[in-house]
Amino acid sequence: MQGIILTKKRFAKLVEEKIKDKPMPVIDAVCEVCNDRDLDTGDVGNLISPILKKKIEAEAIDLNMMKGGAQLPL
């Protein structure tokens, strides 16, 4: 599987599969996919799809790692 060229769609699928196999935060799943594929996490920014980016952002806001917009406390 190492020889397959990664696209945003393939990268997102690998991340989702990681989460499905072993429930974990999206950020951790991205790091694990990078480790599995020998990729530097600093070099995969162009592989993060808009949907994956929103999930990471929402997770970071929930963990108080970044400020969120106007969000209702539901």
Sign of CA dihedral 38, 54, 62, 74: negative
Sign of CA dihedral 63, 20, 33, 10: negative
Per 3-state DSSP, the chain is made up of helix, strand and coil in percentages (nearest 5) of 60, 0, 40
What is the amino acid identity at position 40?
Answer: D
Model-level pTM? Answer: 0.80
DSSP conformational letter for 66: S
Q: What is the pLDDT of residues 23-51, one digit of tens each?
A: 999 999 999 999 999 999 999 999 999 99
Return the domain boundaries, the chain.
8-62
Q: What is the pLDDT of residues 1-18, one digit of tens each?
A: 556 788 999 999 999 999
Q: How far apart are CA 25 and CA 18, in angstroms?
A: 10
